[in-house]
Chain A
Amino acid sequence: MTDAVLDSSVPDAGRSVWALRWQRLRGNRPAMAGLLVLVLLVAFSFSAPLWEWVLGIDSLRADLFNRFAEPGGKHLLGTDEAGRDVLIRLMYGGQVSLMVGLTAAVSAAALGTLIGITAGYYGGMVDKVLMRITDGVIALPLLPLLIVFAAIDLRKLGFGGDFAVTPDAAFWRIVVIITIVQWTTVARLVRASTLAVLQREYVMAAQVQGAPARHIMLVHILPNAISPIIVACTLAMGQIILFESVLSFLGLGIQPPTASWGNMLTNAQEMIQQAPALAFYPGILIFVTVIAVNFFGDGLQEAFDPRSEPR
C-alpha cells in the first residue's frame, strides 16, 4: 500500500517524454476528434479501388447517357457532368489531397530544417544571409507567386514533352512549388532551437572532443528541435491542402481526368444551376480535412508545450 502511495506522488517518474505527451494529447478531445476524422478520411480515400471493384464501377470512364444521375443504385452520390461516379472520384481526389499535403509538408520541413540548422550552427555571415532570404520569402505575396510557378511550362525548363503532361508531373510540380514557399516557418523554429541547444554543456563537450558538425547536428540538435518541427509540419499540412485545392480549382494544379477535390469544383462551378450538390461534396471534404488537421496540430502544440496546463 505504502508503495502505491509513493508512486502516485511522482506520477511521471520513469516515463518517457513521448508517453507523457501522448497522455496529454489523449486528454484533448478536439485533437483526438481531429485524429479520428483524419484516420477515417485516409481509410475513405484509400478504399477507392475496393469500392470500384465491389460496385463494378470504372471511375475514369465517361458515360454521357448517364450524366447528373440522381443518387441511388450503385452510384451512391450520383454521377457528374461526364457520367462518372461522384463518390469514387471523391475518394481518389482525397488520395491526391492527402498525399500532396503530406509530401509537401514533409519536404518543406526538410528544407526548412536544413536551412535553419545551417544558419544556427555556423552563425555569422551564413546566418545573416540565410535569415535575410527567409525574411524575404516570408514577405512575398504567396498566392500570386504560386500561380506564376504553377503556370510555368515544364517543357521550357527542359523536361521532356512526355513527362511534362503526365499526372506525376502535375503532382510533383505542386509539391515542389509549395515547398519553395512553405519552408520558412520551420527554418526559423529550427534556427532558434539550434541556437538554444548550442549553449548547452553537452554540445560544448562534444565539440571539445572533436565531434564533426554533422554528428552534433544529427545527434544533439535535431532531436531537441523535433517537437516544433512536427507541430509546424502538421499545421502546414492544412494550409498546403488549401493551396493545392485552390490551384487545382484554378486549373493550374492537378489536371483532369485525375480527380482532385479542387478540380472537381472547377466543373461543378459551371453547373451550379443544374447540380448544386456537386459543388458541395468536394468542398465540404476539403473543409473537414483541413479543420481536422488544424485541431490535431493545435492539440499537438499544446501537448508538446511543457508550460501548457493539463486539461
Chain B
Amino acid sequence: MTRYLVSRLIESVLVLLVMSAIIYGLIGLMPGDPIDLMAASNPTFTAADVERLRALYGLDTPLWQRYLNWLWSALHLDFGYSRQTQTPALTVMMPALQHTLVLAGLAFLLAVTLALTLGVIAALKQRTGIDSVINFFAFAGISVPVFWCALMLIIVFAVQLKWLPASGMYTIGAPREFWDTARYMVLPVITLTLAYTGGFTRYTRSSMVEVLRMDYIRTARAKGVPPRRMVIRHALRNALIPVVTVMALSFGTLLSGALITETMFAQRGLGKLIYDSILNNDYNMALMCLLFATAVTLLCNLVADLCYAWLDPRISIR
C-alpha cells in the first residue's frame, strides 16, 4: 500500500515536471513578447533599453537555463510576479481558486444529486418511456456546447425576463452582501451543473443496470427484502463503486473545466484567470495556474483509484 502510494506520487511529480517543461517551451511560442509590448507602449524606449531589460529579466539566456531558473524558484514556491497586476502570482491565484471552488463545488453537488436520482430511476424503469426521456436528456447534456448553453440562459433569464444579472460577480457600487452575490452565481452554477449531469447520469444508469442483473439482487428479492431497501442497500451501494471513481476523476477537470462558464459570465475564477493570462502573455501566471490545475487533476486521479480499492474489497492495491 505505502509502496503503491509512493510510486504513484513519484509518477505524478514526473508528469508535473514534464508538463512544466512543455508548457514553459510552448508559452515562449505565443505571439507577443513582454519586452516588445513594453517597448511598443513607450515611445522613448531605445534599442539599448530593450537589451538592458532583456538582460535584467534574464531573457538573453538560453531557454533551458531560463526554465531551470524558473523551476528552482518554483520549488521554493516563488512563481514570480503577474505581469498584469504586478503582484506575486500566488496571491492573485488564491481568491480566484476560492471562487472556483465555491462555483464548482456547488455545481458538483447539484450534478451528483440530480444524476444519482435520475440514473437510479432510469435503471429501475429500464426500457420504458421514463428511461427513454432520461436517456435523451443525459445525451443532450453531454452534447450541448457549454458556452452556447450559457448564452441561451443569458438571453432568456437576463435579457428577456430580466430576472438575473447576465455577468459579473456582484452589483458594482452596492454593498457586498450574500444575496447579491448569490444572484450572480445562479446562472453559472446552472450552466456548470447541466454540463456535468448528463455524463454522471449515464454512468449511474449503466452501473445500476449491471448490478440489478446480479445474483445477489435476485437473492435479496427472493428472500423478500422490501424494494426500497433492496434498491438502496443492495443495489445502489454496489453500483456506486465505479460511479464514485468517475466523479472523483471529474472533480479534477471541473476546476479547469469551469473555464468556459467563468469566461461567459465574467466570474473571476481559476479558469478565467488561466484564459486571461494566456491571452495577455502573463507567462508566470499562466504557467502556475496550468500546473496547479494539472496537479489537482493528478491528485483526483490518485484519490479515484484509492476510492475504488477502498470501496471494493475485491480489488487490492499491490
Contacts and interface: CB of A to CB of B under 8 A. Distances in A.
Contact of A152 (B26, B139, B140): B26
Contact of B151 (A136, A144, A279, A298): A279
A31 B69 CA distance: 55
B278 A151 contact: yes
Contacts of B290: 141, 144-145, 148
Interface stretch (B74-82, B100-108, B224-232, B293-301): B293-301
A265 B31 contact: no
A246 B151 contact: no
A141 B294 contact: yes
B29 A157 contact: yes
Size range of the chain B interface in the assembly: 35 or more
Main secondary structure of the interface of B (DSSP, over half): helix
Interface in B228-253: 252-253
A150 B255 CA distance: 20
Interface string B123-144: 0000000000000000110111
B70 to A, nearest CB: 16
A149 B159 CA distance: 34
B256 A144 contact: yes
Main secondary structure of the interface of A (DSSP, over half): helix
Interface in A181-199: none
Contacts, number: 126
Size range of the chain A interface in the assembly: 35 or more
A296 B171 CA distance: 46
A202 interface: no
Contact of B30 (A132, A140, A153, A265): A153
Interface of A: 132, 135-136, 139-145, 147-149, 151-153, 156-157, 238, 242, 245-246, 249-250, 265, 268-269, 272-273, 276, 279-280, 282-283, 286-287, 290-291, 293-295, 298
Given A136-B14, A140-B297, 6 more contacts: A139-B12, A141-B256, A147-B274, A265-B147, A290-B145, A294-B142
Interface of B: 11-12, 14-15, 18-19, 23, 26-31, 139-140, 142-148, 151-152, 154-155, 159-160, 252-253, 255-257, 259-260, 263, 271, 274-275, 278-279, 286, 289-290, 293-294, 297-298, 301
29 contacts: A136-B18, A139-B294, A139-B298, A141-B252, A141-B253, A141-B290, A141-B297, A143-B259, A144-B274, A145-B290, A148-B26, A148-B27, A148-B286, A149-B26, A151-B31, A156-B31, A245-B145, A246-B147, A249-B145, A265-B148, A265-B151, A273-B159, A283-B152, A286-B148, A293-B143, A294-B139, A294-B143, A295-B139, A298-B139
